């Protein structure tokens, strides 16, 4: 599904008909003409972005962010006008921006934008400003000039970061992709897009959430679950404030963890509990690292040293960013140890098969139970008991990590 640089004539007619009920100044021929004129300006603007034609872009209005995104290899860029609010020679347009990055996005990324326009003496509508819609997150170029670094397996986009620093992320991605394929298989695109804003606040703006939601979180992956052929590529969005505190191993584990989410996205759905999706990503991240259970699960080790053995695997709510760092860490570590148990007891291939079997269900109810029975030949009660024994065996006798 490619975006469009120019709306076909039939689509323009449809847009004009829609605008009769949307324009603030009422319907009628004047409203239709204004909508068509604005759409033509947006089409020219889109063509200028794709053609890297600054002069043509300036003929559609203010330079805005044009110079900020010139390094990004767009395959498509288009606007679809959805509403127009006009007062004389000034107007505000609501539009849907659709774009694809060459070699990465199978389908367009969509974003809501609000554009302010004015009509010149020649009758043409010029764009004065183009910003995110109130209900939409920022795009990276809204935050500053985007620097692009190409890796063998990934594309890194950064703002406020040196090219050398972004090269480091590209190297991490180049190691993460084959590591994930070795564990999961090769039925995924095996390419990732890593986005590195300047700060935690920049990360939060890209996700459309408060910064407090991601404080201490090194990276997150965005994407649509279960729709590999209809969804754009996932984005691994880094929190440079937290990421910068990690050592070399920690940085690699995080990038490999997030890359695992990209690889497993098509087999992750409403039926997949977070202990499995996050635990599996951690398992792949730590796989081959040489980290012992006590080193990789320090919060659980401390809990067991206090005689506190978890009664159950964590619920999705346990993974919430509630401000209780210990609880969140124990949730991740519980998922990781459960996946590690499956890999050791039943084998790595069976672990991946179990993940796919759970995700194949449409609903959560019965998904894990069925997969435990069909893939591992066990029950939830027996598996939980075995997991609790595994924790006592691997973590209960080591004492709290130093």
For CATH 3.30.2010.30, the residue range(s) in the chain are: 138-266
pLDDT in tens, 34-60: 999 999 999 999 999 999 999 999 999
Give the pLDDT of residue 401: 43
User: What is residue 93's three-state secondary structure?
Assistant: strand
Q: How far apart are CA 333 and CA 147, in angstroms?
A: 35
Least confident of 84-98, 194-208, 245-259, 318-332: 318-332
d(CA 242, CA 250): 11
- Give the pLDDT score at 215: 86
- Res. 9: pLDDT tops 60: no
Tokens of 399: 């004492």
Which option is the CATH number for 9-136: 3.40.50.620, 3.10.450.50, 3.30.540.10, 1.10.10.10? 3.10.450.50
Confidence of residue 15 (pLDDT cuts 50, 70, 90): very low
Listing DSSP states for 7-24 in one string gives --HHHHHHHHHHHTTT-T
Mean pLDDT, rounded, for 347-355: 98
pLDDT over 90 (residue 385): yes
The residues with which 101 forms a beta bridge, in sequence order, are 74
**What pLDDT does residue 230 have?**
63
* Kind of pairing between the strands at 109-119 and 125-132: antiparallel
User: When comparing pLDDT for 248 and 228, which is higher?
Assistant: 248
Helical packing angle, 325-345 and 380-394, nearest 10°: 100
Using one digit for the tens of pLDDT, what is the confidence trace for 129-182?
999 999 999 999 999 999 999 999 999 999 999 999 999 999 999 999 999 999
Distance CA 316, CA 273 (A): 7
The confidence score (pLDDT) of residue 398 equals 47
Under DSSP, is residue 96 helix (H, G, I), strand (E, B) or coil? strand
Q: What is the pLDDT of residues 386-402, one digit of tens each?
A: 999 999 999 976 444 43
Q: What is the pLDDT at residue 322?
A: 65
State percent of the chain over pLDDT 90: 82
Q: For 322-336, write each residue's pLDDT tens digit.
A: 667 889 999 999 999
> Is 90 exceeded by the pLDDT of residue 32?
no
Position 221 scores a pLDDT of 95
| Correct CATH for 138-266 of 1.10.287.40, 2.30.30.100, 3.30.390.30, 3.30.2010.30 | 3.30.2010.30
Comparing 62 with 227, the larger pLDDT belongs to 62
What's the token pair of residue 266?
């098509």
% the chain with pLDDT above 70: 88
Predicted pLDDT at 168: 97
Mean pLDDT, rounded, for 259-272: 96
Q: Answer yes or no: is pLDDT of 212 > 80.
A: yes
When pLDDT is cut at 50, 70 and 90, the band that residue 30 belongs to is low
Kindly tell me if the per-residue pLDDT of 346 is higher than 90.
yes
Please answer whether residues 75 and 100 qualify as being in contact, where contact means their C-beta atoms are separated by less than 8 angstroms.
Answer: yes
Determine phi and psi for 237, rounding to 5 degrees: -105, 125
Ranges for all domains in the chain classified under CATH 3.10.450.50: 9-136
Residue 208: the pLDDT is: 93
Confidence (pLDDT) at 249: 96
According to the model, what pLDDT value does residue 1 have?
Answer: 40
Give the residue-averaged pLDDT of 378-386: 98
Does the pLDDT value for residue 22 go beyond 60?
no
Q: What is the rounded average pLDDT for all residues in the chain?
A: 90
What confidence score (pLDDT) does residue 43 get? 98
Q: Tell me the pLDDT band of 12, cut-offs 50, 70 and 90.
A: very low
Q: What is the reported pTM? A: 0.88
């Amino acid at each position: 599904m490619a975006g469009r640089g120019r709306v076909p004539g039939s689509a323009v007619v449809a847009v004009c008909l829609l605008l009769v009920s949307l324009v603030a100044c009422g319907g009628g021929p004047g409203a239709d003409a204004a909508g068509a004129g604005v759409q033509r300006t947006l089409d020219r603007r889109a063509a200028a972005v794709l053609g890297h034609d600054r002069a043509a872009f300036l003929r559609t209005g203010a330079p805005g962010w044009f110079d900020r995104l010139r390094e990004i290899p767009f395959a498509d860029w288009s606007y679809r006008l959805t509403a127009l609010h006009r007062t004389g020679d000034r107007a505000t347009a609501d539009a849907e921006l659709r774009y694809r990055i060459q070699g990465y996005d199978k389908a367009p990324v969509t974003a809501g934008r609000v554009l302010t326009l004015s009509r010149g003496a020649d009758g043409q509508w010029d764009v004065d400003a183009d910003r995110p819609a109130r209900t939409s997150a920022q795009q990276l170029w809204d935050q500053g000039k985007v620097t692009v670094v190409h890796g063998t397996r990934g594309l890194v986009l950064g703002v406020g970061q040196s090219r050398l620093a972004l090269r480091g992320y590209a190297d991490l991605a180049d190691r993460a992709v084959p590591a994930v394929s070795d564990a999961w298989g090769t039925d995924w695109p095996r390419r990732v897009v890593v986005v590195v804003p300047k700060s935690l606040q920049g990360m939060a703006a890209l996700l459309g959430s408060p910064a407090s939601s991601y404080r201490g979180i090194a990276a997150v992956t965005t994407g649509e679950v279960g729709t590999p052929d209809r969804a754009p590529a996932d984005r691994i969005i880094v929190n440079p404030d937290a990421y910068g505190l990690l050592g070399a191993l920690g940085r690699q584990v995080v990038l490999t963890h997030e890359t695992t989410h990209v690889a497993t996205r098509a087999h992750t759905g409403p039926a997949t509990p977070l202990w499995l999706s996050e635990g599996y990503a951690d398992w792949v991240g730590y796989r081959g690292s040489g980290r012992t259970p006590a080193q990789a699960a320090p919060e659980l080790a401390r809990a067991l040293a206090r005689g506190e053995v978890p009664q159950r695997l964590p619920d999705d709510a346990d993974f919430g960013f509630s401000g209780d760092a210990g609880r969140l860490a124990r949730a991740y570590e519980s998922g990781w140890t459960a996946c590690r148990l499956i890999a050791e007891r039943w084998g790595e291939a069976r672990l991946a098969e179990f993940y796919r079997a759970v995700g194949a269900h449409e609903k959560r109810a019965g998904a894990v139970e069925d997969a435990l029975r069909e893939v591992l030949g066990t029950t939830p009660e027996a598996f939980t008991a075995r997991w609790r024994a595994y924790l006592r065996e691997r973590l209960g006798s080591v004492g709290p990590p130093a």
